[in-house]
């Protein structure tokens, strides 16, 4: 058995909600463009960041723990020369901040350098790990991204010898390798790859995680969200399709079918609720507008007898504006935010989540004094921050606090790359809405219905689409192994990984 401890493993779980970025621009400083792209995607991961750049011969990497502005400086950016680069912001679900798990991964293969950055989570990671270890592949981390990198690094004939049928491309050996990987891995993945001559963008057949394409005057950009393109002056083109491979090189953009897309798309609906920045585009519409529509629908379904509407800044502000417009109640600011404190949802430890509320917010007493307040939040996951927020409003002078949530109750964990806790941790999996209301100390509590949320998104974007709603409905778009639902799944996975 490896000398890695179970506690080390717990701090290194591979499930992530991350940001990826890539650029091909021969006449530009690609490392600096990637830096600013990652800066725009900082909200998707605040624990580590990394960049790999290539000049057509060699690839150079720098990565570290912390925010983008903490990891990079002029001294470590300047050696990252080349005309193509990829970058990654990492968030690990249990707060394990270990350099060995930071991305992008970079290895040397018989066909030159291979770099990979990944947003998502593989549901067959245990099986993949055992396959690679039995083949004699050495692994340095518990990350499923490292496993994907090693699968891609092997000649495709290795997998064909084991019965895999892969369509080759006569002009590009990497296309066959990527196709092989897409047959082998299961789960959620939006990835960017770097080789000696090209950038590749790849999305799983369900399209669970977002991945967009953009154009610079001198090249092209790939990013988890379109806000990163706006930051560096790129023009948004479209999203990478589920199951698609996009190659970007000296020939421009070339597309390939990597794997047959699933019958129904399943983009994570939580991107609409919380994850994506309000100035990003999803389904052709800006998130700020979509969230306003969700707030308007919430006001229709769950009105409140109150004086003012406030939102939990900044993520719930658009929904609060929508609630105000629909209800006719005055929108006001009741909480001010310290913008140098990270988002509480992605603080890795429960104690930090609870303590960070008073660090992160202050009540605007002049706006709250004697008022009946509707507090709009985008979601309640564990319920740790809602009670302190309600108490903060009461201490600030609010006469009543009516909490309204612009998404349904989160009753099921996510296994596709989002830290959505476990059944044991999810407050709505244990308590009724009335019990949650009592727990957080609100005068009333109500949520937007699942159908109402989907109706609001459809009204905002102008058409009805399919999304993954598993955290709300329990209907998973992919098969989830039974052991992942076990309360001791971390221990089971650890023992399976290391042969305990």
Active site residues: 18
Distances (CA, A) of 22 to 13, 34, 116: 25, 7, 10
* Kind of pairing between the strands at 467-468 and 267-268: parallel
Distances (CA, A) of 223 to 86, 87, 232: 10, 9, 11
Residues 6+ apart with CB under 8 A from 251: none
Q: Which pair of structure tokens corresponds to residue 280? A: 């990003």
Q: Which pair of structure tokens corresponds to residue 425? A: 């941790």
Compute the distance between CA of residue 278 and CA of residue 460 in angstroms, rounded to an integer: 14
- Smallest CA-to-CA distance from 61 within 86, 44, 36, 94 is with 86
- Smallest CA-to-CA distance from 313 within 293, 286, 331, 294 is with 331
Compute the distance between CA of residue 453 and CA of residue 406 in angstroms, rounded to an integer: 8
Q: Which pair of structure tokens corresponds to residue 311? A: 């939102």
CB atoms within 10 A of CB 463: 9
User: What backbone torsions phi and psi does residue 124 show, to the nearest 5 degrees?
Assistant: -110, 30
Q: Which pair of structure tokens corresponds to residue 305? A: 């007898």
Compute the distance between CA of residue 238 and CA of residue 230 in angstroms, rounded to an integer: 14
Q: Which pair of structure tokens corresponds to residue 303? A: 């009105």
SS3 at position 85: strand
Residues 6+ apart with CB under 8 A from 217: none
- With contact defined as beta carbons under 8 Å apart, do 338 and 361 qualify? yes
Q: Which pair of structure tokens corresponds to residue 436? A: 């949650």
Q: Which pair of structure tokens corresponds to residue 142? A: 């518990």
- With contact defined as beta carbons under 8 Å apart, do 406 and 294 qualify? yes
* Kind of pairing between the strands at 285-286 and 308-311: unpaired
Compute the distance between CA of residue 363 and CA of residue 348 in angstroms, rounded to an integer: 25
Compute the distance between CA of residue 390 and CA of residue 376 in angstroms, rounded to an integer: 11
Instruction: Say whether the peptide bond before residue 225 is cis (omega within 30 degrees of 0).
Output: no
Q: Which pair of structure tokens corresponds to residue 389? A: 């927020």
Distances (CA, A) of 188 to 50, 110, 160: 21, 28, 23
Compute the distance between CA of residue 466 and CA of residue 397 in angstroms, rounded to an integer: 43
Query: In the beta sheet, which residues pair with residue 24?
Result: 84, 220
């Amino acid at each position: 058995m490896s000398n890695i401890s179970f506690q080390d493993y717990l701090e290194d779980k591979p499930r992530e909600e991350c940001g990826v970025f890539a650029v091909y621009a021969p006449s530009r400083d690609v490392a600096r463009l990637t830096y600013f792209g990652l800066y725009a995607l900082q909200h998707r991961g605040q624990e580590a960041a990394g960049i790999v750049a290539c000049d057509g011969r060699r690839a150079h990497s720098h990565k570290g723990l912390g925010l983008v502005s903490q990891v990079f400086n002029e001294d470590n950016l300047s050696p990252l020369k080349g005309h193509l680069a990829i970058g990654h912001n990492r968030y690990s679900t249990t707060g394990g901040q270990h350099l060995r798990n930071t991305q992008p991964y970079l290895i040397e293969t018989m066909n030159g350098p291979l770099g990979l950055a990944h947003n998502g989570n593989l549901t067959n990671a245990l099986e993949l790990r055992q396959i690679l270890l039995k083949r004699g592949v050495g692994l340095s981390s518990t990350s499923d991204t490292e496993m994907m990198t090693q699968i891609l690094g092997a000649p495709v004939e290795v997998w064909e010898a084991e019965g895999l049928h892969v369509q080759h491309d006569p002009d590009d050996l990497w296309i066959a390798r990527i196709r092989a990987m897409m047959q082998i891995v299961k789960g959620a993945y939006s990835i960017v790859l770097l080789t000696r001559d090209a950038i590749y963008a790849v999305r799983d057949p369900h399209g669970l995680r977002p991945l967009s394409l953009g154009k610079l005057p001198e090249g092209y950009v790939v990013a988890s969200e379109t806000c990163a393109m706006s930051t560096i002056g790129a023009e948004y083109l479209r999203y990478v399709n589920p199951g698609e491979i996009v190659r970007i090189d000296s020939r421009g953009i070339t597309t390939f079918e990597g794997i047959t897309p699933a019958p129904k798309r399943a983009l994570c609906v939580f991107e609409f609720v919380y994850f994506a920045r309000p100035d990003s585009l999803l389904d052709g519409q800006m998130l700020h507008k979509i969230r306003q529509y969700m707030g308007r629908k919430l006001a229709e379904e769950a009105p409140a007898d109150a004086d003012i509407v406030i939102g939990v800044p900044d993520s719930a502000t658009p929904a609060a504006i929508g609630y105000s417009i629909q209800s006719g109640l005055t929108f006001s600011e009741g909480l001010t935010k310290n913008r140098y404190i990270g988002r509480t949802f992605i603080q890795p430890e429960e104690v930090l989540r609870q303590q960070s509320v008073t660090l992160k917010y202050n009540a605007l007493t002049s706006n709250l004094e004697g008022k009946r307040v509707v507090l709009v939040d985008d979601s309640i996951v564990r319920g740790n921050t809602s009670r302190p927020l309600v108490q903060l409003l009461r201490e600030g002078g609010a006469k009543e606090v009516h909490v309204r949530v612009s998404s349904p109750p989160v009753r099921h964990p996510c296994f596709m790359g989002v830290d959505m806790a476990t059944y044991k941790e999810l407050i709505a999996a244990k308590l009724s809405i009335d019990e949650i209301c009592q727990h957080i100390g609100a005068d009333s509590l109500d949520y937007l219905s699942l159908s109402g949320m989907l109706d609001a998104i459809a009204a905002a974007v102008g058409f009805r689409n399919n999304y993954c709603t598993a955290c709300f409905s329990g209907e998973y778009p992919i098969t989830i192994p039974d052991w992942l639902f076990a309360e001791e799944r971390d221990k089971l996975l650890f023992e399976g990984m290391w042969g305990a």
